[in-house]
Structure 1
Amino acid sequence: MKTLSVILGMATIVASSLPVLAASVPPPGAASCSGCHSSTAAAASPVTRLYGRDANEIVTAMTGFRDGSVPSTVMNRIAKGFTDDELRAIAAWLAAQK
């Protein structure tokens, strides 16, 4: 019975750490954002910082870039390379970063 308690305890610890692990592993395509969008608040840049932003704002902007309703220089071409599911995954990951 003690072994079962230990196993359940370990499973609980592992399961509770999964959201933390998921937040730290970027989905495909997310790493390319940091080429222009700084991941640190200290960096001075005219390009908007995405870490910690609302996921819905990011999805709305990317969808606008993709359909041409939001003017851009390069984001329209970049956004066209992602599906809706990929955009939501990237936006959720970026929003979870602090």
Structure 2
Amino acid sequence: MKKLTQVAAACLLAAASTAHAADPNLGRNLAATCANCHGTNGKAVPGAGMDSLAGESKAKLLQKLADFKSGDKPASIMHQISKGYSDEQLALIAEYFAAQK
């Protein structure tokens, strides 16, 4: 019975990761949570004191997110928010913002 439970859990994990990969809008949907601070599609309001994310390189965005997640970059809330995402989700978010103009 224990073996069956382990196989079922593995199948569920595989199905969940396939579902993420199959959704072409997942990066956009995840990035939408950033709009409250960084503006719609990562275009911050000028003079609001927030960084615009639109058009930044994916590598630069990923590095910033990794620094927030690890605590290397101080923040008021980004270190908490970034910990709520997997590395794969952060990569999708960074890819989405890098594609915005």
TM over 0.5: yes
Q: Is the 8 A contact 1:26 1:93 kept in 2?
A: no
Report the number of matched residues: 75
Judged with a 3 Å threshold, the aligned counterparts in structure 2 of structure 1 residues 78 and 41 are, in CA distance, closer, same or farther, namely closer
**Pairs within 5 Å for 1:31-42:** 31-38=32-39, 39-40=42-43
Structure ID, larger Rg: 1
Q: Which has the higher contact order (CA 8 A, sep 6+)?
A: 1
Judged with a 3 Å threshold, the aligned counterparts in structure 2 of structure 1 residues 73 and 53 are, in CA distance, closer, same or farther, namely same
RMSD over aligned Cα atoms: 1.7
Q: 1:29 Cα shift?
A: 1.9
Q: Is the 8 A contact 2:38 2:44 kept in 1?
A: no
1:82 corresponds, among 81, 85, 91, to 85
Distance 2:44 2:68 in 1: 24
- Gap runs ≥5 in structure 1: 1-21
Is the aligned partner of 1:59 residue 2:65?
Answer: no
Distance 1:76 1:48 in 2: 15
Q: Give the 4+ runs in structure 1 shifted more than 6 A.
A: none
Residue of structure 1 in register with 2:9 after alignment: none
- Gap runs ≥5 in structure 2: 1-23
Residue of structure 2 in register with 1:73 after alignment: 76
Q: When the two structures are superposed, what TM-score results if normalisation uses the length of structure 1?
A: 0.68
Higher helix share: 2
Q: Deviations over 1:21-49 (max 9, x none)?
A: x6xx4624210111100244663321100
Identity between Structure 1 and Structure 2 (%): 31
Residue of structure 2 in register with 1:12 after alignment: none
Is the aligned partner of 1:44 residue 2:53?
Answer: no
Residue of structure 1 in register with 2:31 after alignment: 30
